[in-house]
Structure 1
Amino acid sequence: MTPFAKTMIAATTLAGLAAPAFAEDISFWGWRTEDVPQYEAFIDMFEAENPEINVNLRMVEAVSYGTILKTALAGESGPDAMMVRAYGSFEDLASGGYLMPLTDENVPALKDFPADALQAETLRADGTVYAVPFASQTMMVLYNKDIFEQLGLDAPKTWDDMKADAEALKDAGFYPFANGTAAAWQNEVLTFGLGASTMGKGFYQDVMSGKTDFTDPRFIDALTRIQDMGQYFPDGFIGLDYPSSQQLFASGMAGIFVGGSYEIAAMKGMNPDINIGVLPAPTVNEDDEGLVAVFYDGGYAGNAASEHKEAVTKFLNFLASQEFGQVFANELSNISPIPGVTFDNPELQAVSDLNKTSIPYMMLVHFRFDQPSGSTLVQENIQKMMAGDETPEGVGKAITEGLSSYYEPFQKN
């Protein structure tokens, strides 16, 4: 039993002894079904400090959560508090008037949150924050430190280093990379997890300022190098699904996996003994800046129609507190955006350090608000490229043309 769990049992016992006869009930929904025990403990922690409030948790499978939540909110039967997605998916709810506006007055801790975290939960139409951001995710390179040490390999910095390591892994009987491309969304992870450093901060800034588009040589160079690295993916990788890719890496059959920071906990769950290292995307030159791609995963929001707004606001303030952020990071192995949170987990600390040199996970952060979404365009076209059915130049052109249907700067290029 962890120290946190022991503390929560004691706190819950004391809370039960001190609880008022008629506590106020609020409902809290989310999609993290795999994290139910931890969220129950978080709620116990809140209730121990607020015995006048009972929080009733309901977790729904992620694939259907959005539809179930929106239907419930539209039918005035939604939860008092809830997890919401970020960026485009978040706007779909916030623009419907379903969520409580949050300010520095009703949730004072928000004033210290990173600006990019708040942007993820801000409705563009009115500039209002509607949710407390709960986690960042980092697209990067994971590698098996024990395999690299066994083979006498250094962690790769450049594309040339990565290719040399891949050759050594292959010669030793390992799969160099575990990744497959059958799951469309994994192709977007590959694009920015491997390509961020080659694209560079300048490319990102130029796209957002309208100075360039995705036919830019920096983007094409990144795709060309990713396509070339495909020679080190498993045989038949175009049909290799996501769970199988994870198993190849977690089982120690592959040395490298391009993925998100969320993979650390997943891989440890499959193999507690795996020794994972994390790296930025490879660079072209030794002196180039190594970058990762970062986005925020979601937030905690209140129902604008709730009859328990004061209790909900107390709960949201708890979820915005450093106290909660610390146990969230420790128990769920996630990067909390709450200022002052530290990381006991060395892998999480390493990810936090990588985040200091990053670009946004571009398509999710900026181009998932309209159709065709940037994510769809990247996923479909990179999948074709990795299968040999499209060129890097063709991918860049298709993405630019798709986004130009609503992104005005591309209409001028």
Structure 2
Amino acid sequence: MKPTMFTTTAGLALCLGAGAALAQEVTLTVESWRSEDQAIWNDTLIPAFEEKHPDINIEFTPTAPTEYNAALNARLEGGTAGDLVTCRSFDGSLPLFNKGQLADISDLDGLSNFPDFARAAWSTDDGASTFCVPMASVIHGFIYNADAFAELGLEEPETVDEFFAVLDAIKEDGSYIPLAMGSADQWEAATMAYTNIGPNYWKGEEGRQALIDGTAAFTDPQFVAPYEQMVRWTDYMGPAYQAQGYSDSQNLFTLGRAAIYPAGSWEITGFTEAADFEMGAFPPPVQNAGDTCYISDHTDIGLGMNAATDHPEAARTFLEWVASPEFAELYTNALPGFFSLSDAQFEVDNPLAQEFIEFRENCESTVRVASQILSRGEPNTWNNMWVLSANVLNDAATPEEATAELQQGLASWYEPQQN
């Protein structure tokens, strides 16, 4: 039967309507604490994704780092959080998954691009569920003024003895403060000192897992020894280091007044912009030549899906892209010092960042020793480590006293350490 004009017109309208529905644009918002990354997202990451997915718009909506946790929790509880959530590692995000606020993305194809240790930072303790795509880690080591080293005829140290020989030479020359490190803000003492050099003593993951299993204690020699090395640092940290804050140490180094900076790789972008001298990097020196090198290659940032998003398919599409080799290369080069955890192979543009990422070729990777499980109770082991590490540097506690207090605090609530 020949269709009437009414039938043809109505059918056409229905088809057009269906096509419009299929092509309807979706806007996804991304929660983050890294407000300093706004330009990187707006200028690099979002355009690259939207070029391939013109029907999905991305809005990066960060919160100040000090306010992020509280603000995100409030928005998740109130149903106003973004579609995608930037995830802190381990116990920073696991409670959100346990409360049903982050979706289980274990079946995301792109997760196969990441090694087990990277996925573990955003998985349940038993590894059964993964709730965030690993985005990047930060690597610890030492950044040095290469011009100063050349001037003084110094080479990168490989052993602890060589490290202190370099510090002695710098101190004897007198042109530079050997180590740009202070203790006023406490967290640097734990992050850029104790958990920077510590893995070489407790053998990285072997020692960390032994603390979790209860087969090792903070009072064991391998956990006391890093503090003993830190006590020696204080002869090289300059006058009044006890009153020296984080930004003071940054300025001492970038102004060329200090030769070596105990570092996290997140400093690379700022240092590259601020310093007018050549820089180099070396991993934490080992105790003896030929020893296995261990680095804190800390799983720092991931991205998950709000379980209550109205756009789960679009959110999963974006997460698949975040798990891709394309994102790995873009993110690593747009934000030098934040290194993709993906197995993807690509060139790193920033020379100093390339030096840091090469640590992975010769050293075994681990994460900060108290980041998983060991800081779930009170006293919080990681926070305790801030205070006690600063106390060691300030001669307010001996290495033995500091580790005894760490152990006592952990054993007060953590059953495997109560045997």
TM-score, structure 1 normalization: 0.90
Separation in 1, partners of 2:358, 2:214: 30
Query: What residue in structure 2 maps to residue 340 of structure 1?
Result: 344
- Structure 1 position 313, deviation (Å): 0.9
List per-residue Cα deviations over 1:201-232 (Å, max 9, x = no partner). Answer: 45445434432211111222221111112110
Separation in 1, partners of 2:209, 2:69: 32
Instruction: Assess if the C-alpha contact under 8 Å between 2:28 and 2:83 holds in 1.
Output: yes
Instruction: Assess if the C-alpha contact under 8 Å between 1:384 and 1:390 holds in 2.
Output: yes
Q: 1:280 to 1:410 in 2, by over 3 A?
A: same
Query: What residue in structure 1 maps to residue 12 of structure 2?
Result: none
- The one-letter code sitting in structure 2 at the alignment partner of 1:409 is P
Separation in 1, partners of 2:112, 2:177: 47
Query: What residue in structure 2 maps to residue 373 of structure 1?
Result: 380
Q: 1:209 to 1:96 in 2, by over 3 A?
A: closer
- The one-letter code sitting in structure 1 at the alignment partner of 2:100 is G
Query: What residue in structure 2 maps to residue 250 of structure 1?
Result: 254
SS at match of 1:97: coil
Query: What residue in structure 2 maps to residue 181 of structure 1?
Result: 183
Query: What residue in structure 2 maps to residue 229 of structure 1?
Result: 233
Instruction: Assess if the C-alpha contact under 8 Å between 2:179 and 2:260 holds in 1.
Output: yes
Q: 1:136 to 1:168 in 2, by over 3 A?
A: same
**Identical aligned pairs, as a percentage?**
28
Task: Select which of 351, 368, 371 maps to 2:356.
Answer: 351
- Indicate the RMSD between aligned Cα atoms, in angstroms: 1.9
Task: Select which of 278, 293, 297 maps to 1:294.
Answer: 297
Query: What residue in structure 2 maps to residue 90 of structure 1?
Result: 93
Larger radius of gyration: 2
Instruction: Assess if the C-alpha contact under 8 Å between 2:120 and 2:127 holds in 1.
Output: no
- The one-letter code sitting in structure 1 at the alignment partner of 2:125 is R
- The one-letter code sitting in structure 2 at the alignment partner of 1:136 is S
- The one-letter code sitting in structure 2 at the alignment partner of 1:177 is L
Gaps of 5+ in 2: 1-21
- The one-letter code sitting in structure 2 at the alignment partner of 1:284 is Q
Query: What residue in structure 1 maps to residue 135 of structure 2?
Result: 134
Gaps of 5+ in 1: 1-19
- Structure 1 position 117, deviation (Å): 1.0
- Structure 1 position 22, deviation (Å): 4.3
Task: Select which of 311, 317, 328 maps to 1:325.
Answer: 328
Instruction: Assess if the C-alpha contact under 8 Å between 1:198 and 1:282 holds in 2.
Output: no
Separation in 1, partners of 2:102, 2:23: 30
- Structure 1 position 366, deviation (Å): 4.3
- Structure 1 position 175, deviation (Å): 0.3
| Matched pairs, number | 390
Higher mean alpha-carbon deviation, 288-297 vs 108-117, is at 288-297
Query: What residue in structure 1 maps to residue 319 of structure 2?
Result: 316
Separation in 2, partners of 1:242, 1:66: 22
Query: What residue in structure 1 maps to residue 122 of structure 2?
Result: 121
Separation in 2, partners of 1:191, 1:27: 37
Query: What residue in structure 2 maps to residue 389 of structure 1?
Result: 396
- Structure 1 position 283, deviation (Å): 2.3
Separation in 1, partners of 2:316, 2:216: 43
- Structure 1 position 108, deviation (Å): 0.3
Instruction: Assess if the C-alpha contact under 8 Å between 2:411 and 2:417 holds in 1.
Output: yes
Higher mean alpha-carbon deviation, 63-72 vs 24-33, is at 24-33
TM-score, structure 2 normalization: 0.88
Higher mean alpha-carbon deviation, 275-284 vs 66-75, is at 275-284
List per-residue Cα deviations over 1:63-120 (Å, max 9, x = no partner). Answer: 101111111111011111121211111123222211111023xx20102311111111
Higher mean alpha-carbon deviation, 340-349 vs 128-137, is at 340-349
Separation in 2, partners of 1:365, 1:148: 38
Matches within 5 A, 1:212-227: 212-227=216-231
Instruction: Assess if the C-alpha contact under 8 Å between 2:141 and 2:281 holds in 1.
Output: yes
List per-residue Cα deviations over 1:252-310 (Å, max 9, x = no partner). Answer: 11111112111222211322x44222222222222322321121112111111111111
Instruction: Assess if the C-alpha contact under 8 Å between 1:87 and 1:369 holds in 2.
Output: no
Separation in 2, partners of 1:310, 1:368: 35
Separation in 2, partners of 1:205, 1:58: 36
